[in-house]
Protein backbone atom coordinates (compact mmCIF):
# COMPACT_ATOMS: atom_id res chain seq x y z
CA UNK A 1 0.00 0.00 0.00
CA UNK A 2 1.40 3.38 -0.98
CA UNK A 3 0.17 6.11 1.30
CA UNK A 4 1.16 9.59 0.19
CA UNK A 5 1.82 11.35 3.49
CA UNK A 6 2.59 14.62 1.75
CA UNK A 7 -0.84 14.56 0.14
CA UNK A 8 -2.47 13.70 3.50
CA UNK A 9 -0.72 16.53 5.36
CA UNK A 10 -1.56 19.02 2.60
CA UNK A 11 -5.20 17.95 2.58
CA UNK A 12 -5.44 18.06 6.38
CA UNK A 13 -3.91 21.54 6.50
CA UNK A 14 -6.32 22.84 3.86
CA UNK A 15 -9.35 21.26 5.56
CA UNK A 16 -8.45 22.72 8.96
CA UNK A 17 -7.25 26.10 7.76
CA UNK A 18 -10.61 27.01 6.22
CA UNK A 19 -12.51 26.44 9.48
CA UNK A 20 -9.90 28.09 11.68
CA UNK A 21 -9.71 31.25 9.57
CA UNK A 22 -13.53 31.39 9.47
CA UNK A 23 -13.49 31.16 13.29
CA UNK A 24 -10.95 33.97 13.56
CA UNK A 25 -13.12 36.16 11.29
CA UNK A 26 -16.20 35.38 13.39
CA UNK A 27 -14.40 36.35 16.62
CA UNK A 28 -13.01 39.53 15.01
CA UNK A 29 -16.43 40.63 13.76
CA UNK A 30 -18.12 39.96 17.10
CA UNK A 31 -15.34 41.67 19.13
CA UNK A 32 -15.28 44.72 16.86
CA UNK A 33 -19.05 45.16 17.10
CA UNK A 34 -19.31 44.79 20.87
CA UNK A 35 -16.33 47.11 21.40
CA UNK A 36 -18.04 49.83 19.34
CA UNK A 37 -21.26 49.47 21.34
CA UNK A 38 -19.33 49.44 24.64
CA UNK A 39 -17.55 52.63 23.66
CA UNK A 40 -20.91 54.34 23.10
CA UNK A 41 -22.22 53.16 26.48
CA UNK A 42 -19.07 54.28 28.32
CA UNK A 43 -19.27 57.68 26.65
CA UNK A 44 -22.91 57.92 27.74
CA UNK A 45 -22.04 56.97 31.35
CA UNK A 46 -19.30 59.63 31.39
CA UNK A 47 -21.73 62.21 29.98
CA UNK A 48 -24.40 61.37 32.59
CA UNK A 49 -21.84 61.74 35.37
CA UNK A 50 -20.40 64.97 33.95
CA UNK A 51 -23.90 66.43 33.66
CA UNK A 52 -24.55 65.33 37.28
CA UNK A 53 -27.50 63.19 36.21
CA UNK A 54 -25.99 60.19 38.01
CA UNK A 55 -23.93 60.13 41.20
CA UNK A 56 -20.40 58.76 41.61
CA UNK A 57 -21.85 55.63 43.24
CA UNK A 58 -24.23 55.08 40.36
CA UNK A 59 -21.36 55.51 37.89
CA UNK A 60 -19.33 52.93 39.81
CA UNK A 61 -22.29 50.53 39.67
CA UNK A 62 -22.61 51.08 35.91
CA UNK A 63 -18.93 50.35 35.38
CA UNK A 64 -19.25 47.19 37.46
CA UNK A 65 -22.13 46.09 35.21
CA UNK A 66 -19.97 46.77 32.15
CA UNK A 67 -17.28 44.58 33.70
CA UNK A 68 -19.79 41.75 34.18
CA UNK A 69 -20.94 42.13 30.59
CA UNK A 70 -17.34 42.03 29.34
CA UNK A 71 -16.92 38.74 31.23
CA UNK A 72 -19.93 37.31 29.34
CA UNK A 73 -18.56 38.55 26.02
CA UNK A 74 -15.15 36.98 26.66
CA UNK A 75 -16.89 33.70 27.51
CA UNK A 76 -18.74 34.00 24.18
CA UNK A 77 -15.44 34.52 22.32
CA UNK A 78 -14.01 31.46 24.07
CA UNK A 79 -17.02 29.40 22.95
CA UNK A 80 -16.77 30.66 19.33
CA UNK A 81 -13.07 29.70 19.27
CA UNK A 82 -13.92 26.27 20.68
CA UNK A 83 -16.58 25.74 18.01
CA UNK A 84 -14.07 26.68 15.27
CA UNK A 85 -11.52 24.23 16.70
CA UNK A 86 -14.16 21.49 16.78
CA UNK A 87 -15.15 22.16 13.16
CA UNK A 88 -11.47 22.07 12.10
CA UNK A 89 -10.81 18.80 13.94
CA UNK A 90 -13.90 17.18 12.43
CA UNK A 91 -12.96 18.43 8.96
CA UNK A 92 -9.56 16.74 9.41
CA UNK A 93 -11.23 13.48 10.47
CA UNK A 94 -13.58 13.64 7.49
CA UNK A 95 -10.65 14.24 5.17
CA UNK A 96 -8.85 11.17 6.53
CA UNK A 97 -11.98 9.03 6.26
CA UNK A 98 -12.57 10.16 2.67
CA UNK A 99 -8.91 9.56 1.84
CA UNK A 100 -9.03 5.98 3.05
CA UNK A 101 -12.41 5.36 1.42
CA UNK A 102 -10.64 6.11 -1.86
CA UNK A 103 -8.36 3.20 -1.00
CA UNK A 104 -11.26 0.85 -0.46
CA UNK A 105 -13.28 2.10 -3.43
CA UNK A 106 -11.71 -0.16 -6.10
CA UNK A 107 -12.96 -3.18 -4.18
Partner 1 sequence: MIFIKYFYRLDEIENYCITFVVLLTTGGFKSKTPLMLTINSHPATGHYFSRIKKTFAVTKCGAWVCLSIVLVFNSCRVSLIADRDEVFIEHVLETALVVDAFYLQLMSADTSQIQYSTFSDNWNNAELEIRQLRLMAEAHPLNRESSEICSLLLETFIKYKQQHQKNNFYPPALLPLHRDRLAEYFIALLSVEKSKELKNQKP
- 56-104 and 5-50 helices cross at what angle (nearest 10)? 170
CB of 98 to partner 1, least distance (A): 9
Buried b (16+ CB within 10 A) or exposed e, 12-38: beebbeebeeebeeebeeeeeebeeee
CB of 75 to partner 1, least distance (A): 5
Residues 6+ apart with CB under 8 A from 42: 66
> Where do contacts with partner 1 occur on this chain (CB under 8 A)?
1, 15, 19, 23, 26, 30, 34, 37, 41, 44-45, 48, 53-54, 58, 62, 65-66, 68-69, 71-73, 75-76, 78-80, 82-91, 93-94, 96-97, 100-101, 103-107
d(CA 57, CA 44): 16
CB of 58 to partner 1, least distance (A): 7
CB of 49 to partner 1, least distance (A): 10
Give the residue with the Cβ less far from partner 1, 56 or 104: 104
Amino acid sequence: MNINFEEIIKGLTQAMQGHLSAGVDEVKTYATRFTERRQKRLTEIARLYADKIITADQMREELEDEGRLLEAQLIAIHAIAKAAAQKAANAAINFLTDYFIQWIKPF
